[in-house]
A and B are shown apart, each in its own frame.
Chain A
Amino acid sequence: MDRYLKAIPPRAWYVAAGLLLVVYPFLTNDYWIDVANFFGIYAMLGLSLNIIVGYAGLFNLGHAAFYAVGAYTTAIINTTFHVPILWLVPLSALTAAGFAYLIARPILHLRGDYLCIVTIGFGEIVRITLVNNPLGLTGGPNGVLGIGRPSLFGLIIKQPLHFYFLIWAFVLLIVLGTKRLEESRIGRAWNYIREDALAAAAMGIDVARMKLLAFVIGAALAGVAGNIYASKMAVISPDSFTFWESVVMFSIVVLGGVGSIPGILVGTFGMFVLPELFRGFSSARMLVFGAAMIAMMIFRPQGLLPSQRWRRAMVDETVGLPAAGLSKTS
């Protein structure tokens, strides 16, 4: 299967995907366009978390916190000062990045599981803070209502179709940006740190700074996704930023293929679009999802479309044996 897919030149894939992206909304109805919109928002979140988990190898299970900071920045400033939504994109990115800088600094020396736990803690503290309505800013459990719509060259973006193009334009930008980042000096430094932080430090890479950078950039992109989510929904509440939201983002990255941009898109597709196709079983959806997470880790731990580097990384180093089931796929 893999062999036939590889025979198709990559450019053909891009052209086909691009065409599909443009034609898609005109072939379907508003409902399916909205499905694609949420697909896009979660793809952004997946891509942003991929920088932290995939490139730098830092287990972040509190990504919803950065998403929340971005969304609430937009919501609060838009509803109180009526600043246009799209102007707030850079600001949301900045506040999320600043927040990430503050919380990531003291915890960067933690590894693996410990980092995972601390990020869960931060994620929950952010959610609890939002519920507790500090200074009357966040509206408590009800959240912020009446967030404005973005407007571009006089066109107010309101319909799902308009949002579709806005969201996917952002997704495309982020894909191109992270692709460039991946191949840059910084991207290579991240890969190096993930494989062996000690060796990376010995080669002159400032490990702490690079890890911090991964957190800051990942958070900034999550902040952008938060901005768009807030304007798309017009209402946001702490319920949208729970631990399970972070788990979903983490799963997108791991199930799609850690460190691989096409993998993230496929992972998001698997998480959001496939369940829509099987709406009949919607109540058992999460049950199947949980079972799928376990099955994936046993039979295809490298994800659906893994990056070349992680394909090797998911093989156990200490024993030199492939992880369970890995040998069947090659």
Chain B
Amino acid sequence: MQEFLQQVVNGLTVGSVYSLVALGYTMVYGILRLINFAHGEMFMVGSYLALSTVSVLGMGQVASGSLGGILLVFLISMTAVAGLGVLVERVAYRPLRRASRLAPIVSALGASIFLQNAIMLIYGTRFKVFPEKLIPQISWEVGGVKITLMRVVILVVSLLLMAALYTLVQKTQLGAAIRACALDHDTARLMGIDVDRIVSLVFIIGPALGAAAGVMVGMFYYQINFVIGWTYGIRAFTAAILGGIGNIPGAMLGGLILGVLETLGAGYISPGWKDAISFFLLILILIVRPTGILGERVAEKV
């Protein structure tokens, strides 16, 4: 039982990272009906930018970084990646808004390959290591379950960001505009909504959340590689499908469920098959219930 609970705690940590990244996929899909294959790379670039910021500031070498310093790392990484997201949308997706469905897929894959190789050329192919002392190594025992400070940070930051996004989308006028665009671009335009601005906004929010996830993964696992964009990206995408693509609470739920299932699977079945779990789940969901757990609206799209 204790081991089971420990796995669930571990799973929730990983799952909240998937949720954050999944939000980017689901929002872009909701508005543009586009699988943004480059979104995983946003996460990866966020992680690398955090690493660079940490080493420039000389944080974590002797003592753990201050709260302000860590916030600065988050801020720099999220802002820069949001800019990158807008840039990718402008260059690779906007000219294809009216093209066939094949063209944006290829363009997105191209953007993904480009970013991955750009990072590889800049940072090299080897694993890059974060300083270990960045976050103080505190942990608590609750009923025999070990909970480290970093896990708490990941979970709390993710939940806060998700709550902020949820409020933005559901309670504000801007959120109403986003939801209107997801339903119908042309009608939204008739209602006086600047659709291009909303699309840009989505490409700010999604990548910024992805970057935050990337920063936390770097601080948690200590080492990053240029392929993490793909490995985390595909899982986050599975999470988005699992919850119902285009559905924001669905992406959050999907991420947490996927994280827990994956950790349990790795613990109780075999770690070698861990990577396959998300794919099995993905295929199963698409065959049995393509709308996902919380999705309804996209039914006619399948």
A: residues with CB less than 8 A from B are: 59, 106-107, 109-114, 116-118, 120-122, 124-125, 128-129, 131-132, 243-244, 247, 250-251, 254-255, 258, 283-284, 286-287, 289-294, 296-298, 301, 313-316, 319, 321, 323-325
- Indicate if the CB atoms of B106 and A319 lie closer than 8 Å: no
Instruction: List the B side residues contacting A110 at CB < 8 Å.
Output: 286, 290, 302
- Indicate if the CB atoms of B275 and A128 lie closer than 8 Å: yes
Instruction: List the A side residues contacting B190 at CB < 8 Å.
Output: none
Q: Which of B250-302 contact A (CB under 8 A)?
A: 270, 272-273, 275-276, 279-280, 282-283, 286-287, 290, 301-302
- Indicate if the CB atoms of A112 and B286 lie closer than 8 Å: no
- Indicate if the CB atoms of B107 and A297 lie closer than 8 Å: yes
Complex partner residue of A316 from B91, B99, B234, B241, CB under 8 angstroms: B99
Known contacts A291-B114, A324-B98, A125 near B106 by CB under 8 Å? no
Give 23 CB contacts A-B under 8 Å: A107-B283, A109-B302, A110-B290, A120-B234, A121-B282, A121-B283, A124-B279, A247-B109, A283-B121, A284-B117, A289-B113, A290-B110, A290-B112, A292-B110, A293-B107, A294-B91, A297-B92, A297-B106, A298-B107, A301-B100, A301-B103, A316-B100, A323-B99
* Majority secondary structure, B binding face: helix
* Among A107, A117, A254, A297, residue most surrounded by chain B Cβ atoms (within 10 Å): A297
Instruction: List the A side residues contacting B114 at CB < 8 Å.
Output: 287, 290-291, 294
Known contacts A116-B105, A124-B275, A298 near B287 by CB under 8 Å? no
- Indicate if the CB atoms of B290 and A316 lie closer than 8 Å: no
Known contacts A293-B106, A294-B107, A324 near B95 by CB under 8 Å? yes
Q: Which of B102-127 contact A (CB under 8 A)?
A: 102-107, 109-118, 121
Closest residue to A287 on the B side, CB-wise? B117
Instruction: List the A side residues contacting B105 at CB < 8 Å.
Output: 59, 113, 116
Known contacts A254-B106, A293-B107, A293-B113, A112 near B101 by CB under 8 Å? yes
A264 vs chain B, min Cβ distance (A): 15
Complex partner residue of B117 from A118, A125, A254, A286, CB under 8 angstroms: A286
- Indicate if the CB atoms of B117 and A324 lie closer than 8 Å: no
CA of A112 to CA of B103 in the docked complex: distance in angstroms? 12
- Indicate if the CB atoms of A117 and B286 lie closer than 8 Å: yes
Q: B230 at the A/B interface (Cβ < 8 Å)?
A: yes
Complex partner residue of B98 from A118, A247, A319, CB under 8 angstroms: A319
* Majority secondary structure, A binding face: helix
- Indicate if the CB atoms of B286 and A107 lie closer than 8 Å: yes
CA of A289 to CA of B106 in the docked complex: distance in angstroms? 12
A-facing mask of B236-255, CB < 8 A → 1, else 0?
Answer: 01000100000000000000
Closest residue to B274 on the A side, CB-wise? A128
Q: B84 at the A/B interface (Cβ < 8 Å)?
A: no
Instruction: List the B side residues contacting A296 at CB < 8 Å.
Output: 106
A54 vs chain B, min Cβ distance (A): 10
Q: B86 at the A/B interface (Cβ < 8 Å)?
A: no
* Among B95, B113, B283, residue most surrounded by chain A Cβ atoms (within 10 Å): B113
CA of A290 to CA of B241 in the docked complex: distance in angstroms? 26
- Indicate if the CB atoms of B96 and A113 lie closer than 8 Å: no
Q: B35 at the A/B interface (Cβ < 8 Å)?
A: yes
A327 vs chain B, min Cβ distance (A): 12
Q: B179 at the A/B interface (Cβ < 8 Å)?
A: no
- Indicate if the CB atoms of B99 and A297 lie closer than 8 Å: yes
Complex partner residue of B95 from A111, A298, A321, CB under 8 angstroms: A298
B298 vs chain A, min Cβ distance (A): 10
CA of A58 to CA of B40 in the docked complex: distance in angstroms? 24
Q: B133 at the A/B interface (Cβ < 8 Å)?
A: no
User: Closest 5 A-B residue pairs measured CB to CB?
Assistant: A293-B110, A290-B114, A290-B113, A323-B99, A121-B279
Instruction: List the B side residues contacting A116 at CB < 8 Å.
Output: 35, 105
Closest residue to B280 on the A side, CB-wise? A125
B238 vs chain A, min Cβ distance (A): 8
Instruction: List the A side residues contacting B279 at CB < 8 Å.
Output: 121-122, 124-125, 128
- Indicate if the CB atoms of B99 and A314 lie closer than 8 Å: yes
Q: B151 at the A/B interface (Cβ < 8 Å)?
A: no
- Indicate if the CB atoms of B100 and A117 lie closer than 8 Å: no
Known contacts A113-B35, A291-B110, A298 near B96 by CB under 8 Å? yes
Given contacts A107-B287, A128-B273, 7 further A-B contacts (CB under 8 A): A117-B241, A251-B106, A286-B117, A294-B114, A297-B104, A314-B99, A324-B99
CA of A247 to CA of B113 in the docked complex: distance in angstroms? 10
Instruction: List the A side residues contacting B33 at CB < 8 Å.
Output: 113
Closest residue to B99 on the A side, CB-wise? A323
CA of A128 to CA of B279 in the docked complex: distance in angstroms? 10
Instruction: List the A side residues contacting B116 at CB < 8 Å.
Output: 286, 290
- Indicate if the CB atoms of B102 and A258 lie closer than 8 Å: yes
Instruction: List the A side residues contacting B273 at CB < 8 Å.
Output: 128, 132
- Indicate if the CB atoms of A117 and B102 lie closer than 8 Å: no
A1 vs chain B, min Cβ distance (A): 22
